[in-house]
A and B are shown apart, each in its own frame.
Chain A
């Protein structure tokens, strides 16, 4: 039967079936999930009727609580209630301790990475984020009535490789298939762009709880091109709250606060901030050790407290415009993203700088999730006629350590991704068979001023005289902004093996171990999950090759076609069983048999994509 199905063009397993996909805005303060239903993108509500899930996870000895209930418990249980975990993603222990005096957690050094000691033992940011992602995915599958085929998760455009990788690892741990990591500002532009079909240069000003991003995009004929991105990964609305807390402390004269009263102060600060977005003056009571203190703050006073922070964001806007090679008056639209853009001073300052009325018609808290949902719907294959093309850039330069602690840039920031750049190295000793490379990310010239990404050890270099071996190392950044490295000795063609030691990330083995040891997956569940993953990949391969045959069978000889069809029917048969290893073997065999076909199709379609130009030119 399988052979019959293959021979009939267009008869794939489930034509036009709507696949379940969601967009997830994994935020510092709040997270949201959205999906496209009946052509409209909307955020989804959990059982309690909330769109926004506070990004807070509380670890109790016997269970994990995510969201509102965890926020409520935070004052009584500050050590086990983790806020703003996004700020810790891909971060080292030492740098976090140096920056985060205000964090009320017991920070732990987990092989150089930061982790938190909780009532359930040591939890790292990847595990904590996975809890938030799993909660959102539950909301989605319960509302939509089925398992999600894939998700798009948004990240700040400024996130470096380690932070992106950590986000992807968290999704993996939560059992989600990531279709793409999408930059938050790009998602926001998608949400607005598809609604209104804008053309021209757009700035996306995204001031969230913990991060600030400014992106300059060009929209043209359905193409979103990110011209430049900038920002500050440690600046956000939380800092407004801290500025208010400092003012409160000046009023009360309390120089130090306990964890508990810091939490109280922060909650009050948030309330004051929200009130002053709508009113000119706000009166409130501040609980102190010596009783309650009646206070009042005016909008003007509040503005002067946050003025330095807002000015910092405008400076970043200037720098990013410079990177894009544009002046402020060339920006046609400004999209406002993030709850902190409700603050009137922010809107005025941004409007004045760009000399344009900021766009606020989509809820600034939801706009990113909505854009992610739109993209997830396209990527999962529900909208085959979609003609948007998303061209993104790498936010920070990638470089290599050279002599004297200097960094040589290999891929400059704002290069369109995916990108691959090769660099040649040679051995400096006779018979040298190994060398090591240190990859960094950042704009500065000194190694110490950039972020260490990973150390790569090349081994198995064929022994030759000094300078005889030419090793070509290729750095590839994929569409998610993630780096991979391959190396080859040129004269012998020998592929050198690479061992990667991420500086602030988990190795593949560590992620696998985390998945295995996570309480959600008993041994049987684990096997089921691996089987399911292989079955899904088998069906992807089957669908892809079947579609390829329907479209391009003329590129195959009859013997080749027969081989491929046999491999496909074997794949289909074995993937219905429960032998994970056999399915994997059948996938590998099908891939191997169709490698040449895939290459031919690629060449052929490049020719076809540009066909007709010769005629146009006449």
Chain B
């Protein structure tokens, strides 16, 4: 299913999220199972499926990584079946350094300084990669699409690091 078509928004990475949210709510207003609660069993089942599709589509377009993956899938490039391995050694080094930094936080005497530092680094790298991703996707050319797939795989590492950092911060607060 083409999620961009479902919401009638342009099939591009740079998306107006407010507009997307408005369209989403309009569709849910019409298809949410609550509209069919007194309906026949078949209509109720159809409504559940339809509403689930709409939720899934919204979920996929709302987040930049999933949106990029969906866009690439529509262009015939699948991330999950991407067999290329990383050759970018500077990226791998950077990941290792950030991992070490995260590992040090819980043993540090002033953990919040390290948290801020890690957060800043991750955020900065993410922003750089997101910008590159937007550029690659805008070209709408197979070569650049493959580059975009590479960037997405790198970004996933940063999102994962960010998630781990949040868990560490929670651990500290508790």
Contact = CB atoms under 8 A, between A and B. Distances in A.
Interface of A: 19, 149-150, 179-180, 221, 223, 322, 378-381, 387, 389-391, 415-421, 476, 478-479, 537, 540-541, 544-545, 587, 591, 595, 598-599, 602, 605-606, 609-610, 613-614
B6 A606 contact: yes
Contacts of A419: 52, 55-56
A463 B170 CA distance: 48
A609 B26 contact: yes
Interface in B22-77: 23, 25-34, 37-43, 46, 48-53, 55-56, 58-59
A252 B6 CA distance: 70
A253 B39 CA distance: 61
Contact of A479 (B6, B29, B33, B53): B33
B8 A613 contact: yes
A28 to B, nearest CB: 26
Contacts, number: 101
A566 to B, nearest CB: 18
B7 interface: yes
12 contacts: A380-B37, A389-B32, A418-B51, A418-B52, A419-B56, A476-B49, A476-B52, A540-B38, A540-B40, A544-B39, A609-B31, A610-B7
Interface residues of B, number: 33
A420 B40 contact: no
A489 to B, nearest CB: 20
B55 A417 contact: yes
Given A380-B37, A389-B29, A421-B56, 12 more contacts: A179-B37, A389-B32, A418-B48, A418-B55, A419-B55, A479-B32, A540-B38, A540-B41, A598-B42, A599-B46, A606-B27, A610-B23
Contact of A610 (B26, B42, B56, B59): B26
Nearest to B27: A609
B59 A415 contact: yes
B34 A180 contact: yes
B114 to A, nearest CB: 20
A540 B33 CA distance: 15
Contacts of A380: 37-38
A149 B25 contact: no
A151 B101 CA distance: 55
Contacts of B39: 540, 544
B46 A598 contact: yes
B26 to A, nearest CB: 6
Contacts of A391: 28, 32
A537 B34 contact: no
A19 B29 CA distance: 22
- Report whether over half of chain B's contact residues are helix, strand or loop; otherwise say mixed: helix
Given A540-B38, A544-B40, A602 B56 contact: no
Contacts of A415: 55, 59
Of all A-B residue pairs in the complex, the 6 with the closest CB atoms, nearest first, are A379-B37, A420-B52, A541-B40, A479-B33, A418-B52, A540-B40
Nearest to A391: B28
A537 B40 contact: yes
Contact of B48 (A150, A479, A544, A606): A479
Contacts of B28: 389, 391
Nearest to B42: A591
Given A537-B41, A540-B38, A478 B46 contact: no
Contacts of A609: 26-27, 29-31
Nearest to B36: A544
Contacts of A378: 34
Contacts of A478: 33, 48
Contacts of A19: 38
Contacts of A418: 33, 48-49, 51-52, 55
B34 A389 contact: yes
Task: With a 10 A CB-CB cut-off, give which of B31, B33, B58 has the most chain A CB atoms.
Answer: B33
Nearest to A548: B43
A515 to B, nearest CB: 18
Contacts of B37: 150, 179-180, 379-380
Nearest to A388: B34
Given A380-B38, A416-B55, A610 B50 contact: no
A591 B40 contact: yes
Contacts of B41: 537, 540
A416 B21 CA distance: 14
A598 B36 CA distance: 13
B35 to A, nearest CB: 9
A19 B8 CA distance: 37
A378 B8 CA distance: 29
A322 B27 CA distance: 29
A380 B35 CA distance: 9
A387 B55 CA distance: 19
A342 to B, nearest CB: 30
Interface string B114-154: 00000000000000000000000000000000000000000
